[in-house]
Structure 1
C-alpha cells in the first residue's frame, strides 16, 4: 500500500470520527448514531495494519458505547486487534463473544463448514447471510498468524466446552414454548455471556 493510499484511509477514519462528534453534539452530549458509523473504523485500521490505532478506537468505543453488544464482524475485528496487540487472553474472550453473536463467522474465516443447528435467530446479525459481508480470510498473509492461533483456540477444551454449552442453551430456547422454563434458559444464556466479559 502506498503512502497516498494509507493517507486516504486515514482521512476516511477522520471523517467518520468527525461525523460521530457531530452526532454527539446534535443529541446534546449523547451518541445516537442511527447509521452505525461507530462500527466502520476498525476495518480501515486493519486495512493499514494500524493495530495500535484500532486498539485505541476499541477502548474509546468501550467507554462511549458500553451497552452496545457489538456487530459480529466488528467483534471479529476486535478479536484480531487484541491478538495482534498480544492480548491473547482478551482475544480468547472476544472470540467467544464473536461466536455467540454469530455462530457461522469463525468457521467461515477458518474455511470450515458452517455449523448448522436449530437455534433462535432473533437478530439479523445471527443469520448465516451476515457472512457475505466478511472481508477477512485465512488466506490473507497479514492474518496468517491470527489464523493459526484461532484454529488452535477453536479446537481447545475451553472453546469446545463453552461452544457446546452455548449451543445446548440455544437449542433448548428454540424448542421451549413461552413460559418460566424459557425465561430460565434466557437467564442461563445471559450468565454464560457475562462469564466472558
Structure 2
C-alpha cells in the first residue's frame, strides 16, 4: 500500500470518528446505525496501525461496554493485542472471537470443519457465515498471528474452554424449559468470566 493510499484510509478513519463525535454531542450518546464503530477498527488493521487500533479498542470498550460485537471485529481486536505483545489478553480475545463463531479459526486456517449440532441463534454463529467472511478475515490477520493461532488452538487452555462452551451450546439446542435454559446461559456467562479472570 502506498503512502497516498494509507493517508486515504487515515482520512476515512477521521471522518468516521468525527461523525461519532457529532452524534455524541447532538444526542448525548451513540446510536450508530451505520456501524462506524466497527468500520474504524477494520480500517486501522487495513493499514497495520496496531498502535492506533489499540487506542481505538480501549475507547470502544469504554463507550460501548455492552456491545456484543461480531466475529470479524473481535478477530481484529485479538490480532491487535497479539501484535502489541499483549499475549495473555490476545488469548482471551481470541477465545471470545471463537465464542461468537466456533468455526472461524478452522476456516481461516484452512482446516477441515463441519457443522456442529448446537444452538446457533444469531446469524453470525454458523459455518456458512464463517466461510462467507473468510476473505475479510484474511485482510485482518497477520502471518505471525496465524502461526501463533495454529499453536494456540492446540493448547489445553483453549481446548478445555471451547469443549465446555460447545457442550453447553449442545445442551441449549435441545432444552425447551425456560428455567433450565437460563441456567445454561448463566453457565456460559460464568465460563467467559472465568477466562477473563486469568489475566486479572
Q: TM-score, normalised by structure 2?
A: 0.91
Paired residues for 1:98-177 under 5 Å: 98-131=97-130, 132-134=132-134, 135-137=136-138, 143-177=142-176
Deviations 1:51-105 (A, max 9, x none): 0000000000011001112211100000000000000000000011000011121
Q: 1:119 to 1:44 in 2, by over 3 A?
A: same
SS in 2 for 1:108: helix
Deviations 1:97-144 (A, max 9, x none): 00001112111111112342112112122123333133233xx7x711
Counterpart-to-counterpart distance in 2, 1:11 and 1:125: 30
Unaligned 5+ residue runs, structure 2? none
**Residue 62 (structure 1) aligns with:** 61
Counterpart-to-counterpart distance in 2, 1:115 and 1:163: 16
Give how far 1:156 is off.
0.5
Counterpart-to-counterpart distance in 1, 2:129 and 2:23: 27
Counterpart-to-counterpart distance in 2, 1:145 and 1:118: 32
Deviations 1:28-68 (A, max 9, x none): x2111122110011211111111000000000001100111
Contact 1:97–1:196 at 8 Å: present in 2 too? no
When the two chains are superposed, the root-mean-square deviation of aligned CA atoms in Å is 1.5
**Residue 24 (structure 1) aligns with:** 24
**Residue 9 (structure 2) aligns with:** 9
Counterpart-to-counterpart distance in 2, 1:120 and 1:26: 40
Contact 2:50–2:80 at 8 Å: present in 1 too? yes
Contact 1:76–1:95 at 8 Å: present in 2 too? yes
Paired residues for 1:37-48 under 5 Å: 37-48=36-47
Q: TM-score, normalised by structure 1?
A: 0.92
Counterpart-to-counterpart distance in 1, 2:137 and 2:45: 10
Count of residue pairs the alignment pairs up? 193
Unaligned 5+ residue runs, structure 1? none
Q: 1:69 to 1:196 in 2, by over 3 A?
A: farther
Contact 2:114–2:127 at 8 Å: present in 1 too? no
SS in 2 for 1:106: helix
**Residue 195 (structure 1) aligns with:** 194
